[in-house]
């Protein structure tokens, strides 16, 4: 019996299980797996959606790395975003979750809501637009003019000097999302008796408790949070577009996601944008590997 025959036989035997899985897998296959595989193919073609694709092999990638100056800016911006906001928001989520977890349950529920609110309420980051509006009557500009620090309004979201830092701040503000919730859940699943056991075994302070007991126990949540943080920080496009416009002045906040959208949407060059997507994909996979390796060291 070959492996294939064996597989088929086993599948037949467990057909009920497959039947139950089917609805999800069919959808997953159609809307996730096939598009990803397709884009692997499309990135080697010239394709404008309305006319059939043309095979051009590596031309897209050659152009991407050798001709496209803006792509390099994008990679730089994406990495800055990812490196600053990824770990920062991850640590922030964790520590805020940890602190909140120490609170009495009722207060905890309220505080959790307060911190989680920015990420539930969709485009709530637009409030930053109001705060930093370029209008002389905008909150920040108005205040600065009133204090006599400036004469003419600053275009916060049009001036490269301010754009990047502001976007990072907004990103961090919005980042207490799903990861944060999963951390709170994770912290609550830690068995109390482990701490007692730890105390008996010589855990001296809260840091040791955290490092040797809490963190190893909630590794699945940490992993989940990390993946969310990575995808989040690499995919950080919507907020920037909403605040700084798309494209942002001098491409100062242009990330790979923007570049991808620029070519895929405005210029209808799907082949090229698939190539960009591939790069982003591999960057994320790489970052994931790295994080997994780092997480494996937790508690050691």
Partner 1 sequence: MKNLKLTRPIALLMSGLMLTSTFSVINAADDTDETSNGKGASIVGSNIEDVIERMNALTYAEYQALYTDVPDATSAVIIDGTDYDPELTDADVRIETYEGREALFTPDDGSVVYSFDIPKDGMYMIELDYYPTTSKQTDVERQLYIDDKIPFRETGYLTLKQVWESDLSLAGDSKTGFQLDALDNDVRPNTVLAPVWQTYKAQDSTGYYTDPFLYYFSEGTHTLKLTASRCDIAFGEIRIQQPDDVKTYEEVLADYTAKGYKAVSSDATVKLQAEFPTAMSAKSIYPTYDKTSPISEPQHESRIRLNTIGKDTTWQYVGDWVEYKLTVEESGLYHIVTRHKQSVSVDMFVTRKLLINGELPFEEAKNLRFTYGDEFETRPLTDGKTEFQFYFEAGKEYTLRFEIGLGELADLINRIQISMANMNKALIKVKQITGDTPDEYRDYNFIGLIPNEMNLFLAEAKEIRAIANEMEEIVGYRGSQSTVFDDIADMCFEMGSDESTIAGHIGNLTSNIGTLGTWMNTVIVQPLEVDYISVQSVDEKIPAANANLLQTLIYEVKKFIASFFSDYSTFADEDYGDAKTVVVWMGSGRDQATIMRQMVNDMFSSQYGIPVDLKLVSGGALLPSVLAGQGPDISLDGVSMDWAIRSAIMKLDDFDTFDEVCSRFDESALVPLYLDIDSDKRGHYGIPVTQSFSVVFYRQDIFAELGVDLPQTWDEIKALLPLFNSKNYEFGVSASLKFHLYQKGGDWFADGGRRINWDNQLVLETFKDVCDLFTQYQCPTSYDGTNRFRTGEMPYMMSDYGIYTQLTMFATDIRGMWGMSTLPGYEITDENGNTYINNTGTTSSGGVGIMANAKNPEGAWDFIDWYTDADAQIRYGNEYATLLGSGTIYTPANLEAMLSMNWTNEELEVLMAQFNNLRATPMYPGDYIISRYESFAFDNVYNEGADPVEELLKNINAINREISRKRQEFGLDYLEIGETLAEREAKKAQESGEAGN
List interacting residues with partner 1 (CB under 8 A).
46, 48-51, 133-137, 142, 145-146, 148, 152-155, 158-161, 245, 247, 249-250, 266-268
253: phi then psi, degrees, rounded to nearest 5 = -120, 20
Minimum distance, C-beta of residue 35 to partner 1, in the bound complex (Å): 13
DSSP string, 116-171: HHHHHSTTTTHHHHHHT-SSTTSHHHHHHHHTTS-SS---TTT-HHHHHHHHHHHH
Cα–Cα dist 156/130, whole Å: 11
- CA-atom Rg of the chain in angstroms: 24
**Least CB distance to partner 1 at residue 30 (A):** 14
Shortest distance, CB of residue 56 to partner 1, whole angstroms? 11
Using an 8 Å Cβ cutoff, are 129 and 242 in contact?
yes
CA distance 185 to 236: 25
20 or 55: CB nearest partner 1: 55
Nearer to partner 1, 133 or 221 (CB): 133
Can you read off the two tokens belonging to residue 1?
């019996």
- Residue-level length of the chain: 300
CA 197 from chain centre, in angstroms, equals 37
Q: Closer CB to partner 1, residue 101 or residue 129? A: 129
Nearer to partner 1, 154 or 222 (CB): 154
Smallest separation (angstroms) from partner 1 to the CB of 41: 17
Residue among 87 and 153 whose Cβ is closer to partner 1:
153
Is 14 or 161 the residue whose CB approaches partner 1 more closely? Answer: 161
Task: Find out whether 53 and 264 touch, Cβ atoms under 8 Å.
Answer: no
Smallest distance, partner 1 to C-beta of residue 284, A: 26
**CB nearer to partner 1: pick between 40 and 49:** 49
Least gap, CB of 254 to partner 1 (angstroms): 10
Q: Which two tokens stand for residue 118?
A: 């920015």
Q: How far is the CB of 122 from partner 1 (least distance, A)?
A: 18
Residue with tokens 């109390």: 192
How far apart CA 162 and CA 155 sit, in angstroms, is 9
């Amino acid at each position: 019996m070959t492996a294939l025959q064996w597989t088929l036989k086993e599948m037949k035997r467990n057909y009920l299980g497959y039947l139950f899985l089917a609805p999800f897998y069919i959808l997953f296959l159609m809307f996730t797996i096939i598009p990803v595989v397709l884009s692997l193919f499309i990135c080697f073609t010239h394709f404008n959606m309305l006319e059939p694709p043309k095979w051009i092999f590596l031309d897209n990638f050659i152009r991407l790395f050798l001709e496209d100056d803006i792509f390099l800016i994008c990679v730089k911006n994406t990495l800055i975003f990812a490196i600053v906001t990824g770990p920062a928001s991850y640590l922030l989520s964790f520590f805020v979750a940890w602190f909140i977890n120490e609170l009495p349950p009722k207060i905890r529920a309220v505080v959790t809501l307060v911190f989680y609110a920015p990420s539930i309420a969709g485009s709530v980051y637009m409030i930053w637009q109001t705060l930093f509006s370029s209008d002389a009557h905008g909150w920040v500009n108005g205040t600065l003019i009133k204090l006599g620090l400036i004469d003419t309004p600053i275009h916060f979201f049009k001036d490269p000097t301010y754009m990047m830092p502001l976007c990072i701040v907004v990103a961090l503000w919005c980042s207490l999302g799903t990861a944060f919730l999963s951390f709170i859940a994770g912290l609550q699943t830690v068995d109390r008796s482990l701490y007692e056991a730890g105390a008996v075994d010589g855990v001296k302070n809260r840091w040791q408790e955290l490092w040797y007991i809490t963190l190893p126990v909630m590794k699945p949540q940490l992993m989940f949070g990390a993946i969310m943080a990575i995808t989040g920080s690499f995919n950080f496009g919507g907020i920037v577009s909403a605040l700084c416009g798309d494209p942002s002045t001098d491409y100062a906040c242009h990330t790979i996601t923007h570049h991808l959208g620029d070519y895929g949407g405005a210029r209808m060059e799907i082949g090229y944008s698939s190539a960009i997507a591939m790069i982003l994909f591999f960057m994320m996979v790489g970052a994931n590997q790295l994080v997994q390796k780092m997480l494996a060291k937790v508690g050691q």
